């Protein structure tokens, strides 16, 4: 989940944004007090379906306005976005799903209504961290079971995104990305595996045979690999095997990032 946003231009309103793991979609939950303040664009009238969210009136819409083929006019496309709006007294709410992918096809009108009911009437208890989406290194530490190394130097515009832990491979993956992920920014990935678990992953077991330039990362032998699309490093510390790869960066930048992991 992206941290909640409070808008100075829209007092009395708060927005929560959830990113689809692996990219490609978003779910926005917006709520406010006072006059109706829905932020998303109005829908085509014929696409609006009146619904009830419990005892509260609402509306459901599937579709969005789009511009196709460089035309100057918009047309209504009845897919790829679903919105549920409802009010309760002086409060208004909106769930806005912007995704058309198999991972979120289950989120139908009825599912969104049930989600709305749980948000309003039956809030879920706090859930424990998920191994496939760990929001911080502190959340990741108990899963990893080792001292996590993280870079103190990052490419310009990059921030920590999330971590994931693969129990079968005893492997922790740190994902970094440009802060504006809605623009499908480039990524940097760091994979850390305890040396006594490297044999579980044939892809890195024989990393010293990989093609590349022999370099040094904090006194440890490493291999640099790279081309016009990015680069990275492979090396062993005293306890871990580390693979760093990025869609951006020169040889010098990759070495600087790798050497900042202490």
Poorest-pLDDT segment among 31-35, 103-107, 204-208, 232-236: 103-107
Mean pLDDT for all residues in the chain: 83
Q: Which two tokens stand for residue 164?
A: 């994931």
Inter-residue contact 163 to 134 (CB < 8 Å) = yes
CA dihedral 150, 254, 20, 85 (to 10 degrees): 90
* Per-state percent for the chain, helix, strand, coil, to nearest 5: 20, 45, 35
Give tens-digit pLDDT for 193-206.
Answer: 999 999 888 778 77
Q: How many helices (H) and strands (E) are present in the chain, helices listed first?
A: 4, 14
The per-residue DSSP string of 91-134 comes to EEEEEEEE--SGGGTT--HHHHHHHHHHHHT-PPPPPPPBTTBB
Q: Which two tokens stand for residue 67?
A: 């511009």
| Domains of the chain as residue ranges with CATH | 2-120 (3.40.1000), 137-259 (3.30.200)
Inter-residue contact 139 to 159 (CB < 8 Å) = no
pLDDT at 11: 58
Cα 134 to chain centroid, rounded: 10
Per residue, the 3-state secondary structure of 18-42, as one string, reads EECCCCCCEEEEEEEECCCCCCCCC
Residue 117 has phi, psi (to 5 degrees) of: -65, -40
At 184, the pLDDT band (50, 70, 90 cuts) reads low
At 23, the pLDDT band (50, 70, 90 cuts) reads low
Tell me the mean pLDDT in the region 233-262. Answer: 92
Give tens-digit pLDDT for 141-151.
Answer: 999 999 999 99
More confident residue, 76 or 200: 200
Residue 179 has phi, psi (to 5 degrees) of: -65, -30
Tell me the mean pLDDT in the region 158-169. Answer: 92
More confident residue, 194 or 44: 194
Inter-residue contact 158 to 175 (CB < 8 Å) = no
């Amino acid at each position: 989940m992206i941290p909640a946003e409070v808008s100075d231009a829209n007092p009395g309103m708060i927005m929560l944004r959830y990113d689809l793991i692996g990219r490609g979609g978003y779910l926005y939950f917006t709520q406010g007090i006072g006059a109706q303040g829905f932020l998303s664009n109005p829908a085509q009238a014929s696409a609006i379906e009146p619904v009830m969210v419990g005892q509260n009136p609402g509306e459901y819409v599937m579709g969005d306005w789009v511009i196709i083929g460089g035309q100057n006019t918009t047309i209504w496309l009845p897919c790829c976005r679903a919105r549920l709006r409802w009010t309760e007294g002086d409060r208004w709410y909106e769930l806005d799903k912007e995704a058309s992918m198999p991972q979120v096809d289950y989120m139908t009108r009825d599912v969104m209504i049930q989600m709305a009911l749980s948000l309003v009437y039956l809030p879920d208890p706090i859930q424990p961290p998920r191994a496939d989406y760990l929001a911080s290194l502190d959340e990741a530490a108990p899963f990893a079971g080792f001292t996590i190394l993280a870079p103190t130097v990052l490419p310009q515009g990059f921030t920590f995104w999330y971590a994931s832990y693969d129990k079968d491979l005893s492997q922790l993956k740190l994902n970094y990305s440009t802060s504006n992920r809605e623009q499908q920014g480039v990524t940097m990935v760091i994979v850390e595996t305890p040396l006594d678990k490297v044999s579980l992953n044939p892809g890195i077991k024989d990393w010293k045979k990989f093609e590349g330039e022999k370099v040094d990362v904090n006194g440890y032998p490493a291999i640099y690999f790279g081309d016009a699309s990015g680069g990275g490093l492979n090396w062993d510390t005293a306890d871990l095997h580390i693979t760093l790869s990025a869609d951006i960066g020169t040889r010098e930048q990759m070495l600087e990032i790798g050497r900042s992991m202490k």
